[in-house]
Chain A
Amino acid sequence: AQSVTQLDSQVPVFEEAPVELRCNYSSSVSVYLFWYVQYPNQGLQLLLKYLSGSTLVKGINGFEAEFNKSQTSFHLRKPSVHISDTAEYFCAVSVLNQAGTALIFGKGTTLSVSS
């Protein structure tokens, strides 16, 4: 069964520092991977997605992620964070089974950016 593990529940960083949010997945079939961001009291917004092709995926707000099949990872990175990047970040894998399709989410990583 597909699953997603976000290795860090909280990541505190200073403004303008680089950040990496780690995500590992398990799947026995082809995967489609996503990163979503949730700002306080809001819904989830898509940051980026990996479907196929280039393993380096660029998203919105300067974020990028690299799909690594051998390490079953899809880590999210940003070279220089802003205060406004403070939010909850979710890694997700798309699941297709007899019951239909759904996104399975990791438990989330809280990114806290301070000055």
Chain B
Amino acid sequence: DTAVSQTPKYLVTQMGNDKSIKCEQNLGHDTMYWYKQDSKKFLKIMFSYNNKELIINETVPNRFSPKSPDKAHLNLHINSLELGDSAVYFCASGGSSSYNSPLHFGNGTRLTVT
């Protein structure tokens, strides 16, 4: 009964490939997010969706495309992977008043591009 689940946990791939990371939450939250954690552990928001609508789109290469088929799922597709994309990607979800409610995070997907 994991609240926010991501798959896969580890992803090793070569430069130029296309890959996807899936995220699902069973908390009934309206808002979902993707965060990127770099090698120095810095967490930066990439995207947020509210009820399947893109709300936040930070300065992220357009090779990254989030897709939300329904409010319980937010997948991240990455085209033409580059070495610099290597990081841990975290999915998170928050309630409708997520401004003052905590986010719930998945356990992360460690992406390694070789």
Contact = CB atoms under 8 A, between A and B. Distances in A.
Interface string A11-55: 000000000000000000000101010100111111001010000
A85 interface: no
Interface residues of B, number: 26
A103 interface: yes
A103 B45 contact: yes
Interface residue SS majority, chain A: strand
Contact of B99 (A41, A88, A96, A104): A96
B56 A102 contact: yes
Nearest to B42: A107
Interface string A48-87: 0101000000000000000000000000000000000000
Contacts of B31: 100-101
Interface of A: 32, 34, 36, 38, 41-46, 49, 51, 88, 90, 94, 96, 99-105, 107-108, 110
Interface of B: 4, 31, 33, 40-45, 48, 50, 55-56, 90, 92, 94, 98-100, 102-108
29 contacts: A34-B102, A36-B105, A41-B108, A43-B90, A43-B105, A43-B106, A43-B107, A44-B103, A45-B105, A46-B102, A94-B99, A94-B100, A96-B99, A99-B55, A100-B55, A100-B56, A101-B31, A101-B48, A101-B94, A101-B98, A101-B99, A102-B45, A102-B48, A102-B56, A103-B103, A104-B45, A105-B43, A105-B44, A107-B42
